[in-house]
Amino acid sequence: MSETTSHMSISLDGFVAGPDQSLEHPLGRRGIELHRWHLDEPLHDADARARDLLLRPRGAYVMGRNMFGPIRGPWQGDWRGWWGDEPPYHAPVFVLTHYEHEPIELAGGTTFYFVRNGFDAAFARASEAAGDRGVDIAGGASTVRQALAAGVIDELVLDFAPVLLGSGERLFDGVADPRLEPIEVIHSPLATHVRYRVGR
């Protein structure tokens, strides 16, 4: 059976995005500080290993609307995601939303599908599309929380940045203990990367 994964950068106080997400601040104010470990060059060997985990090919992805873009309410304009004409997914991506939207097909094999009937429906479609290549829960916080509540994540990777954000989007608010078992820890001056097996 294929595995479902999720990989999130997180502050020491539990936030995966800063407050006030917007077009100018896609990760919220100061949220970019959580991602220095894979944005600054040259990469430390540990950060390169974690980046390879982050970018490993998956058969399909599930993400929340806030991760797809800054638009709230009914869809407006021609927003096609943060990633340009060739997003890094190269697979179907199922976006949770309350509003109807036609699929968006982009270069490199990425097509965004918009799912209006909840996480379970999006995950079922992603699982079918992925086959034995596995599904990744791409974020953001709310979507990962829903996946943990549904018990579908097998492996969770957290990149702990030595940052205190103080506010924003917490990853584990309202989540029952997922019984995380550390199976690998690697670290650099910019982050401590922990792979967890998620209990059932």
> At residue 145, does pLDDT exceed 80?
yes
Mean pLDDT of 180-200: 95
Query: CATH classification of 4-19+28-69+86-179, choosing from 3.30.300.30, 3.40.50.300, 3.40.430.10, 3.30.56.10?
Result: 3.40.430.10
The reported pLDDT for the residue numbered 200 is: 65
The position carrying tokens 């894979």 is 38
The reported pLDDT for the residue numbered 2 is: 79
Strand segments, DSSP code E, in the chain are 4-11, 15-17, 60-63, 92-96, 104-105, 111-115, 135-139, 155-161, 169-170, 180-187, 192-198
The reported pLDDT for the residue numbered 71 is: 86
pTM of the model: 0.96
How far out from the chain centre does Cα 164 lie? 20
What are the pLDDT digits (tens) for 76-114? 889 999 999 999 999 999 999 999 999 999 999 999 999
